[in-house]
């Protein structure tokens, strides 16, 4: 059974943009804790999908996914497994950490000899402590689930990641063959101790490219939409009041507080 520390899909919700109304979508967005900026982003994508649907056009983005308080990706209607990277996931805000000398042997043996990124619990405990101190003022709450580990000194190629470490990766941008062959791993992003994203840099260039673990993306695509069932204003109020009872007023987003004021 997966625990919170090994489940990268924890706190991720899916919003279906087609088979719903904005009112229903809005209440579910309040329920999930999206801030006003993220709700505006959700509304923009919803209105775009409805406009295309009403004019019998292809709806490019069918579903969007939010990790806690941040919307981060969408999927296309004709190919659900194809990620539509229309939103920046804000991974660049997470400061990379360098592993301390006390962990160097264990990390190098795990990565280079075992061809794995599955560090032991003690190693993750230390990395998470360092990460917490370095990234104590992040913009979005979801970013606290991530560790950005700097592995640039290993000079690992994309080929090694895909074949030696057996990771299928999906890039956010289409790469030419000569670019793919020149990529070296700079950053490895863990979410709840699971490697989910890779930051590559082109040799002889400063250009960066983000790739996702295909297994991670596939696990997200299996999440059912949060708005499959309708929710109304009264239910939204009860959900927010329950949240206040458990976590206190300070845990509410600005838009949830505004909802209470205007109720």
What are the residue boundaries of the structural domains of the chain, listed by start? 4-88+221-262, 92-219
For all residues of the chain together, what is the average pLDDT? 86
More confident site: 79 or 228: 228
Q: What is the pLDDT of residues 29-78, one digit of tens each?
A: 998 888 888 899 899 889 988 888 788 777 667 888 888 878 877 766 55
Instruction: Look at residue 6 in the predicted model and tell me its pLDDT.
Output: 82
Which of 254, 208, 231, 216 lies closest to 73 in space, CA to CA? 216
Predicted pLDDT at 2: 40
Backbone angles phi, psi at 19, to 5 degrees: -95, 60
Q: What is the pLDDT of residue 76?
A: 62
Predicted local confidence at residue 84, as pLDDT = 52
Cα distance between residue 60 and residue 52, in whole Å: 9
Residue 246: predicted pLDDT: 85
Binning pLDDT at 50, 70 and 90, where does residue 133 land?
very high
Contacts of 113 (CB under 8 A, 6+ apart): none
Decide: 107 and 99 in contact? Cβ < 8 Å.
Answer: yes
Q: Is the pLDDT of residue 19 over 90?
A: no
- For residue range 79-110, what is the model confidence (pLDDT) as tens digits? 545 555 545 577 888 999 998 999 999 999 99
What are the angstrom distances between the C-alpha of 111 and each of 42, 104, 160, 231?
A: 39, 11, 11, 47
Provide the pLDDT confidence category of residue 148 given band limits of 50, 70 and 90.
very high
Question: Which of the two residues, 73 and 24, has the higher pLDDT score?
Answer: 24
CA angle 211, 122, 141 (to 5 degrees): 50
* Average pLDDT value for residue range 246-252: 83
Pairing of strands 83-84, 146-150: unpaired
The confidence score (pLDDT) of residue 1 equals 34
- Please state which of the ranges 53-67, 156-170, 190-204, 234-248 shows the lowest mean pLDDT: 53-67
Q: Span 10-14, mean pLDDT?
A: 89
pLDDT for position 206: 79
Please give the average per-residue pLDDT across 198-209, as a whole number: 87
């Amino acid at each position: 059974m997966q625990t919170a520390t090994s489940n990268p899909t924890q706190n991720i919700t899916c919003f279906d943009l087609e088979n719903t109304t904005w009112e229903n979508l809005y209440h579910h967005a309040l329920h999930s804790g999206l801030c006003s900026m993220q709700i505006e982003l959700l509304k923009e994508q919803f209105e775009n999908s409805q406009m295309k649907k009403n004019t019998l056009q292809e709806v490019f983005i069918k579903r969007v996914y939010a990790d806690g308080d941040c919307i981060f990706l969408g999927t296309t209607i004709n190919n659900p497994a194809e990620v539509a990277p229309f939103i920046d996931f804000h991974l660049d805000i997470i400061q990379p950490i360098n592993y301390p000398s006390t962990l160097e042997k264990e990390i190098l043996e795990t990565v280079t000899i075992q061809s794995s990124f599955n560090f032991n619990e003690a190693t993750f405990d230390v990395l998470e402590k360092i990460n917490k101190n370095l990234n104590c003022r992040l913009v979005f709450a979801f970013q606290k689930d991530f560790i950005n580990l700097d592995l640039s000194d290993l000079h690992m190629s994309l080929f090694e990641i895909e074949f030696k470490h057996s990771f299928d990766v999906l890039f956010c941008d289409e790469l030419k063959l000569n670019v793919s062959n020149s990529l070296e791993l700079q950053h490895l992003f863990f979410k709840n101790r699971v490697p989910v994203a890779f930051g590559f840099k082109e040799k002889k260039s400063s250009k960066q490219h983000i790739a996702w673990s295909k297994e991670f993306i596939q696990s997200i695509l299996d999440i059912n939409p949060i708005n499959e069932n309708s929710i109304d204003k009264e239910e939204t109020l009860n959900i927010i009041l329950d949240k206040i009872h458990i976590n206190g007023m300070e845990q509410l987003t600005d838009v949830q507080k505004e909802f209470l004021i205007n109720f």
